[in-house]
Every structure is written in C-alpha cells, then in structure tokens.
Amino acid sequence: MRFYLFSMRNASLILFWIAIIVAITTLGSTLGTMWEMVERAFGDAYADHSLAEFMLILQALGSSLLYAAFPFFGSAALYLLESHYNRSEVAK
C-alpha cells in the first residue's frame, strides 16, 4: 500500500520521466535500426547527400517526440489536477 500511495502522489513526476525515457529510447532505436543510412549521410563531408538521408533523422526525432507526447500530456494533466486540488483543499 505504501508503494501505491507513493506512486499516486508522484504520478505526474513518474509520467514525466517515462516521457523522457520513451523519447530517448525511440530516438535510439529508430537511428539504430537504420544506422547504415545515417552513417552514409554523415560519413563523407564532401559527398552529395540526398534528402532521404536527412529525412531519416527528422523521422527519428519526430517519432521519438510523438511517442513521448502521450506520457508527457498525462504528466501535465495530472500536475494541473493535483495543483488545482491542493489549492481548493487549502482554501477550505
């Protein structure tokens, strides 16, 4: 019961850190699965780089932010609800 109360009391902080971890791991996994393309894109400074190679990096950043958006939104919502609840409780 103690762990449950701790988790509920700090839910917004827990979801915030989950959002950060999800963003980092998604970015790493997306770049890791197609590392050869990324390496080719930045391997030779004088090579003619195609738009698709740079789009891969943008896709990795976008997907990592997309997957992290839901836990981050949950974190923000819980934080706002908690701060509103605490203010109304103090006013009573």
pLDDT score at 3: 76
* Residues 6 or more apart in contact with residue 77 via CB below 8 angstroms: none
Distances (CA, A) of 27 to 4, 9, 23: 31, 30, 6
pLDDT score at 88: 64
Give the whole-angstrom CA distance, residue 64 versus residue 59. 8
As a whole-number percent, the residues of the chain with pLDDT over 70 amount to 72
Q: For the chain, what is the domain count?
A: 1
Q: What is the pLDDT of residues 34-78, one digit of tens each?
A: 777 667 666 665 566 667 667 777 888 888 888 888 888 888 888
Helix (H, G, I), strand (E, B) or coil at 39: helix
Tell me the whole-structure pTM to 2 decimals.
0.60
Range of 31's domain?
2-91
Supply φ then ψ for residue 70, to 5 degrees: -65, -50
